[in-house]
Structure 1
């Protein structure tokens, strides 16, 4: 018999059969008898070690499943595991919720509770939970899908390694649940059609609508499944294609302006560190103009987003703002070298703005047309027919402009063109006409059904969040292999409730063999200080500092 270690000071804990119906078998109703106990074993909890003696019982009915001796496990224990449920819960939270690798989890468990746990044990706990959580999640998903009675299928694939299998994730937009995640060598219409049928058979519910990014194989597979169900084409992907010429021009404008500003001698000769010495007439020009150099660097550090703020356009406006402030500076009483530098800087800025003015005006014109289309599509309360009517008005305006220039404006005769910065404004209009014609079948149907989603963004977010987990674990190393092998599991557990209670429920309800997987060490990431680029709205203080420098020279 196992002897209790002397270092465990707490009283021994015994497990017993406890039921309101007494020693009665819960399966057949016959009597239960006590067979033996395991002599006791150590269970490590967050509050110290326990000595737990587990009693075994059996049913007297020879035909009952409980006729073989079974244990009554303590509520803090997992069968045949050394660490308690609460220790497992902390390990799982650290890894899945806070994206720490196995080594970091083991170190934190020791630092916080002085519990020694190896990296291999942490790995086994996490792998156990992957399958246990997946089983628990699948049960919840099946229940919610059955209650819903229909599936609005959203699907997309991500290929982490070029030339190898892609991870495809299938979700239900009504319940926001992942239905299936699968690695596919290729995804022709026939393969996707088989998966649709598998999903319908698995959940016993029909697919009532599909939301996708309009890939040809998806279009054909949906027609094979049921050509009469709504197939929504993602508005985000549509707008992403529409804005491509604008983004290309803006990126070129941004790069051009940044390159030219960084080539200024004042910028290249900017003093390193903060200057604490008083500005005098003997001070170097670069030192006198240091605040303006910082202002220019702020001006060209503009950041934007895909649809609302264009960094190239913002940089152009910032430089116009800097130039306007330089022109009103009084030069009287300043040393000649400062006057020459000030005039040279103003002339250079003006030359840069003039050389990029045409690109800027094209960018403004196209972005105005784009925002008009976006404003039309944003009216979610309108019917699909009304939205289509207003989009046709927008298209008619583009076609009228092209007709005035004697250019092709029939969508059937237009061909795809690469959206580079060299594309003309008229060619961008032609591409927009072609795009709307291509998307028209599935662009407007979501307006007539409040349950349909307008975009596939939730799927894109799911991919990014699951990739973020591996990036946090692996740093900037190649995460493709890890994402390819485990991305499907993490996508299904991404919104899991990682509270202690819920984790305990999953662990105590499951006991599943798990696969081996290797993780690499986490690489530290370093913080980067960002410059304030909204200089037209927020005063940086650099111009005031420059004026103080000039005043010192006058004095």
Structure 2
């Protein structure tokens, strides 16, 4: 038995068909009844989506019994799920791009106001993979034809998402030049033989292949080399940079941790400033708010190191604070600030 949707909407949005006249006879469409009313949780809050149905007013039209509805409303969510498509896409991004676990994804979504449990995250992930497989089959050959005409061939990349707690690994084949996802499949085994069966239909399209790209996984490389030994193979530059920069990233993480440790006393300063109603206390609260904002900054290693980013921004705050203290004529306080940094 399905449980009742207990979401409380903060907004009701009404949708009607994207056209006002019948596509067959051009007669005006009139409202007939509500096709669907669904409350969903999105990244922008909880919305109630009302999809209103319209019918042709011409009794002689062959579409007289057809109920037209809004395609935009239909695209906001999928059936039997109370989360928006944007939430599904965000779960996919967190899982595949940032490689977060179910618990980490749950914490991120809850922080954004999307209430989920780990079980819900798993269901959303499964729905995302279904949509990914469906989208991989849509119009991909036509896009590849355009890519071949422009570049003389295609470049295939392949990557697998590390499974969590016994789940199957999701492998994705992507055309690099156009960014088109060509295939996606959950596999129980990452053996070379099974991956070859996954790759064969793509090679069977018959388009000239300029090269293969993947991470360092041996079974992927062997599958590509076995199926097309003459095609050049390249190690993914992102994975290459990520691997060689691990020592730097580790030191950068320690730098950010040390900066946070030195700024732990910021809460006590805020408490003292809140008890006063002076220009100095307002300035102090502004600086503490700036520091808190900086500590939330994150980067994208290895090209954008978060520790260095936090260090540079806190250094700017320190320089600004020292200038204020110099104007105020408080050398002793300035020295204390320097020691705390």
Alignment TM-score, normalising by the size of structure 2: 0.55
Q: Classify 1:249/1:315 alpha carbon distance in 2 versus 1 (closer, same or farther; 3 Å).
A: farther
- For residue 328 of structure 1, the aligned residue among 323, 326, 329 is 326
Matched, 1:256 2:258: yes
- The answer to whether the Cα contact below 8 Å between 2:54 and 2:67 also exists between their aligned partners in 1 is no
Q: Name the SS of the counterpart of 2:75 in structure 1.
A: helix
Gaps of 5+ in 1: 1-12, 17-41, 56-72, 103-126, 280-286, 332-338, 354-555
Q: Classify 1:224/1:352 alpha carbon distance in 2 versus 1 (closer, same or farther; 3 Å).
A: farther
Q: Deviations over 1:492-536 (max 9, x none)?
A: xxxxxxxxxxxxxxxxxxxxxxxxxxxxxxxxxxxxxxxxxxxxx
Aligned to 1:238: 240
Cα drift, residue 268 of structure 1: 4.9
Matched, 1:158 2:156: no
- The answer to whether the Cα contact below 8 Å between 2:53 and 2:67 also exists between their aligned partners in 1 is no
CA distance in 2, matches of 1:162, 1:232: 31
Q: Which has the higher strand share?
A: 2
Alignment TM-score, normalising by the size of structure 1: 0.36
Give matches, 1:475-490, under 5 Å. none
- For residue 305 of structure 1, the aligned residue among 288, 295, 299 is 299
Aligned to 1:28: none
Matched, 1:351 2:339: yes
- The answer to whether the Cα contact below 8 Å between 1:44 and 1:50 also exists between their aligned partners in 2 is no
Matched, 1:93 2:75: yes
Aligned to 1:145: 144
Q: Name the SS of the counterpart of 2:166 in structure 1.
A: coil
- The answer to whether the Cα contact below 8 Å between 1:257 and 1:352 also exists between their aligned partners in 2 is no
CA distance in 1, matches of 2:264, 2:154: 55
Aligned to 2:287: 295
CA distance in 1, matches of 2:178, 2:316: 46
Q: Deviations over 1:368-409 (max 9, x none)?
A: xxxxxxxxxxxxxxxxxxxxxxxxxxxxxxxxxxxxxxxxxx
Cα drift, residue 48 of structure 1: 3.9
Aligned to 1:59: none
Matched, 1:199 2:202: yes
Aligned to 2:171: 168
CA distance in 1, matches of 2:340, 2:155: 52
Q: Classify 1:101/1:301 alpha carbon distance in 2 versus 1 (closer, same or farther; 3 Å).
A: closer
Aligned to 1:83: 67
- The answer to whether the Cα contact below 8 Å between 2:266 and 2:288 also exists between their aligned partners in 1 is no
Name the count of aligned residue pairs: 240
Q: Name the SS of the counterpart of 1:186 in structure 2.
A: coil
Cα drift, residue 156 of structure 1: 1.4
Cα drift, residue 289 of structure 1: 4.3
CA distance in 1, matches of 2:258, 2:138: 56
Give matches, 1:48-447, under 5 Å. 48-50=54-56, 74=63, 83-84=67-68, 87-95=69-77, 101=83, 134=134, 138=137, 140-145=139-144, 148=148, 150-159=153-162, 161-201=164-204, 203-205=205-207, 207-263=209-265, 266-272=268-274, 277=277, 279=278, 288-299=280-291, 301-302=293-294, 303-306=297-300, 307-308=303-304, 310-318=308-316, 320-322=318-320, 324-325=322-323, 328-331=326-329, 343=332, 345-353=333-341
Q: Return the structure number with greater relative CO, CA threshold 8 A, min gap 6.
A: 1
CA distance in 2, matches of 1:250, 1:267: 27
Cα drift, residue 95 of structure 1: 3.0
CA distance in 2, matches of 1:249, 1:173: 32
Q: Classify 1:90/1:83 alpha carbon distance in 2 versus 1 (closer, same or farther; 3 Å).
A: farther
Cα drift, residue 185 of structure 1: 1.9
Q: Classify 1:44/1:291 alpha carbon distance in 2 versus 1 (closer, same or farther; 3 Å).
A: closer
Q: Deviations over 1:351-370 (max 9, x none)?
A: 344xxxxxxxxxxxxxxxxx
CA distance in 1, matches of 2:179, 2:199: 17
Cα drift, residue 183 of structure 1: 0.6
Q: CA RMSD in A?
A: 4.3
- The answer to whether the Cα contact below 8 Å between 2:192 and 2:222 also exists between their aligned partners in 1 is yes
Aligned to 1:512: none
Q: Which has the larger radius of gyration?
A: 1
